[in-house]
Amino acid sequence: MGIVDDDIRRVREESDIIRLITQHTQLKKVGRSWKGLCPFHNEKTPSFTVNQENGRYYCFGCQATGDSIEFLREIDNLDFVAAVEMLAAQNGIPLRYTDKKESKSRNRRKELIKLVAEAVDFYNKKLIDMDNPEARPAREYLKQRGLGGDIAEKFSIGWAPDSWDSLCGHLSVSNEDLLAAGLGGINKNGGQYDFFRNRILFPIFSEQGDPIAFGGRKLPEGEGPKYKNTSDGAEIYSKSQILYGLNWAKEEAGRIDELVVCEGYTDVIGCHEAGISRAVATCGTALTREHVRKMSRFAKKVVLAFDADNAGQSAAEKVYEWESEFDVLFKVADLPEGGDPGDLAFSNPEELNHIVENAKPHMQFRVDRVLEKGDFESKEGRAKSAIEAMKVVAQHPDELIRDQYIVQIADKCLIGVDEIRRRASEENSKVEKSVITREGVPVKMERLTTEYQALRMLIHKPEEVTDWLHPVLLSDPMAESVFVALTSSTDLHEANQSLGKEESDLFGRLSVQETEDDKPLGVFSRLLS
Ligand SMILES: [Zn+2]
């Protein structure tokens, strides 16, 4: 433990859990507790319950439970210390660290960010320094693509010289730090070398705007793969979660509830220059579930602006799963063949805006693609088109949505809708059902026993029950474990820590329930009888 226990306790007690959670989901006050749609699973009726007084939450749908620190860790993928630090900063609570050495390591992230920032600056100067002839091909290449000096400065684009150690020589840091920041490596003779050489560099920022990594693009005549990114081995970078440009995009995304996902760094920059400030890109990977989870916190509509050849092909079935899991709608921007948003942004920005604004829902886009290619002159051709289109529709997990497409296809192919429905259900039964609807999770709501009621009182109004509540009154082993945990701990968090999974679940539920009707005398006499 790096942070002084007392300070952690203070953070836990002083952070306003309602304010924290309402940044992620709406909560309504019901009686003495707060209820809302769970931010951790997809649902239509609220089963996420928060108790402001004891600072704990519990979801009756997915059993997520914890306090402010645990909430932040879960929702933002933070480690314990980072979550405590963030809450402390939000609430103006100064933190003390247990000893100097550890305090240094707690600031590790900050130190590594500072190193990457120095590298960003170093590479950027190399690029924009007109007296540096070596960077001229890079400058010319960028200019050709519409990325002139202003843009290079605005997006901190850089140039890594064709040298083994120009950055290492400039930074002079320990081997450990160099590796941890993902900026270089150590050769067989123990010497340091730069990770990026002879490449144009696009710095990648965290959503808070801290530089954490680079995407490196080679020049057309350069060697090696087209793109080379900071490796996942770097301590502060994980490509399956990071979206390039989110730091710039989040404001507009929040305002109009939409994000635009491109494939490359230059596409994002182009979109921003064309006035589409809600554009992001994955950093050299396909879209992952983690990306979608992250995006769903900022916007509920996601427009895929991929090269025409890839549009709609990208993990179609996953897209529908994610739509239902994270309650987002994926749309596809119908870009002209062979054109990417980065080029279009400079050649015809109005057209790019028009295409993005007219993006179609993912399924619609794919069905249209199939139908456009069909032959509608003959009965045979129409039947074939209908069947092809139905194969696409069958991939959607939501029957209500499928049915609307069925009606549309029937209409377009001049075939009776019932016949299409019949074929569709055949087709659908062939599609393997990989979609697990989380709503199917049974809500655990057993009848409250008197023993649990007693425990609930011990959680909410301990002063009224500690005198008479004794373990001999409890016959349920689960109740007894929770009782022991509560009476031997200094606070609810500590009690929860000492419990197993099932007991902790019971504890979570009890700690967000109403206690208005709990009368000590009644509960006591029922326990005795
Ligand atoms: Zn839940």
> What spacing in Å lies between the alpha carbon of 168 and ligand 1's midpoint?
47
> What spacing in Å lies between the alpha carbon of 22 and ligand 1's midpoint?
15
> What spacing in Å lies between the alpha carbon of 42 and ligand 1's midpoint?
7
Q: What per-residue confidence (pLDDT) applies to 100? A: 52
| Domain boundaries 107-229, corresponding CATH code | 3.90.980.10
Of 117 and 306, which is predicted with more confidence?
A: 117
State mean pLDDT over 8-12.
Answer: 87
Alpha-carbon Rg for the chain, nearest whole angstrom, is 28
Of 155 and 313, which is predicted with more confidence?
A: 155
Kindly indicate the confidence band of residue 71, based on its pLDDT and cuts at 50, 70 and 90. Answer: very high
> What spacing in Å lies between the alpha carbon of 37 and ligand 1's midpoint?
8
Lowest mean pLDDT among 47-51, 366-370, 427-431: 427-431
Q: What per-residue confidence (pLDDT) applies to 232? A: 76
Token representation of residue 132: 């540096």
**Residue 447 pLDDT exceeds 90:** no
Of 377 and 517, which is predicted with more confidence?
A: 377
> What spacing in Å lies between the alpha carbon of 49 and ligand 1's midpoint?
9
State mean pLDDT over 473-481.
Answer: 85
Q: What per-residue confidence (pLDDT) applies to 309? A: 62
**Residue 158 pLDDT exceeds 90:** yes
State mean pLDDT over 82-89.
Answer: 91
State mean pLDDT over 417-439.
Answer: 59
Q: Which residues contact 37 (CB under 8 A, 6 or more apart)?
A: 25, 26, 43, 44, 46, 48
Q: What per-residue confidence (pLDDT) applies to 393? A: 86
> What spacing in Å lies between the alpha carbon of 441 and ligand 1's midpoint?
10
Highest mean pLDDT among 75-79, 245-249, 386-390, 466-470: 245-249
Of 23 and 313, which is predicted with more confidence?
A: 23
> What spacing in Å lies between the alpha carbon of 47 and ligand 1's midpoint?
7
Q: Which residues contact 334 (CB under 8 A, 6 or more apart)?
A: 308, 311, 355, 358, 359, 360, 365
Token representation of residue 111: 């130190």
Kindly indicate the confidence band of residue 127, based on its pLDDT and cuts at 50, 70 and 90. Answer: very high
**Residue 312 pLDDT exceeds 90:** no
Lowest mean pLDDT among 16-25, 94-103, 331-340, 384-393: 94-103
State mean pLDDT over 343-348.
Answer: 91
Kindly indicate the confidence band of residue 104, based on its pLDDT and cuts at 50, 70 and 90. Answer: low
Q: What per-residue confidence (pLDDT) applies to 418? A: 85
State mean pLDDT over 476-504.
Answer: 87
Q: What per-residue confidence (pLDDT) applies to 315? A: 65
CATH of 5-105, one of 3.40.1280.10, 3.90.580.10, 3.30.360.10, 3.20.20.240: 3.90.580.10
**Residue 57 pLDDT exceeds 50:** yes
Kindly indicate the confidence band of residue 445, based on its pLDDT and cuts at 50, 70 and 90. Answer: very low
Kindly indicate the confidence band of residue 96, based on its pLDDT and cuts at 50, 70 and 90. Answer: confident
Query: pLDDT averaged over the chain?
Result: 85
Q: Which residues contact 48 (CB under 8 A, 6 or more apart)?
A: 25, 27, 35, 36, 37, 38, 39, 40, 57, 58, 59, 60, 61, 64
**Residue 431 pLDDT exceeds 70:** no
Q: Which residues contact 120 (CB under 8 A, 6 or more apart)?
A: 156, 158, 203, 211, 214
**Residue 433 pLDDT exceeds 50:** no
State mean pLDDT over 390-417.
Answer: 87
Q: What per-residue confidence (pLDDT) applies to 446? A: 46
d(CA 292, CA 321): 11
> What spacing in Å lies between the alpha carbon of 56 and ligand 1's midpoint?
14
Kindly indicate the confidence band of residue 213, based on its pLDDT and cuts at 50, 70 and 90. Answer: very high
Give me the amino acid identity at 123. Y
**Residue 60 pLDDT exceeds 80:** yes
The CATH topology of domain 243-364 is Dna Topoisomerase Vi A Subunit; Chain: A, domain 2 (3.40.1360)
**Residue 242 pLDDT exceeds 70:** yes
> What spacing in Å lies between the alpha carbon of 519 and ligand 1's midpoint?
30
**Residue 271 pLDDT exceeds 90:** yes
> What spacing in Å lies between the alpha carbon of 445 and ligand 1's midpoint?
14
State mean pLDDT over 397-415.
Answer: 88
> What spacing in Å lies between the alpha carbon of 242 and ligand 1's midpoint?
24
Segment holding 524, helix H or strand E = helix 520-528
d(CA 340, CA 468): 73
